[in-house]
Amino acid sequence: MLIKWLLSIVIVVALLGGLQPLLARYCRLGRLPGDITVHRGGRVWQLPFASTVLMSLLAWLILRWL
């Protein structure tokens, strides 16, 4: 039972992570207070902590409603 939940969470997080660039174009995801962007050596590293919490809360609400 625990493996099913863990697998479900991993799949949801992977899907939301893959959709994050598309969502960032239409919403402020990735640019919320609490999201960190680091520019080093010609690369951009994004650590979207607040966006991840917001998307996780949204996924939880949707799954709770179903």
As for how many domains the chain has, the answer is 1
Q: How many of the other CB atoms lie within 10 Å of CB of 8?
A: 12
- Joined together, the tokens standing for residue 50 give 């607040």
Residue 50 CA to residue 43 CA, distance in Å, equals: 21
Name the burial class of residue 51, with classes exposed (0-12), middle (13-18) and buried (19+) by CB atoms within 10 angstroms of its CB.
buried
At residue 64, does pLDDT exceed 90? no
Domain containing 51: what range?
Answer: 2-65
In this prediction, residue 43 carries a pLDDT of: 93
Identify any residues that bridge with 38 across adjacent strands, giving them in sequence order.
45
Task: Note the pLDDT tens digit of each residue in 7-61.
Answer: 888 887 888 778 877 777 787 777 889 889 999 999 988 888 888 888 789 888 8
In this prediction, residue 41 carries a pLDDT of: 92
* Residue located via tokens 């951009």: 44
Q: Could you tell me the pTM of the whole model?
A: 0.58
In this prediction, residue 40 carries a pLDDT of: 93
In this prediction, residue 42 carries a pLDDT of: 92
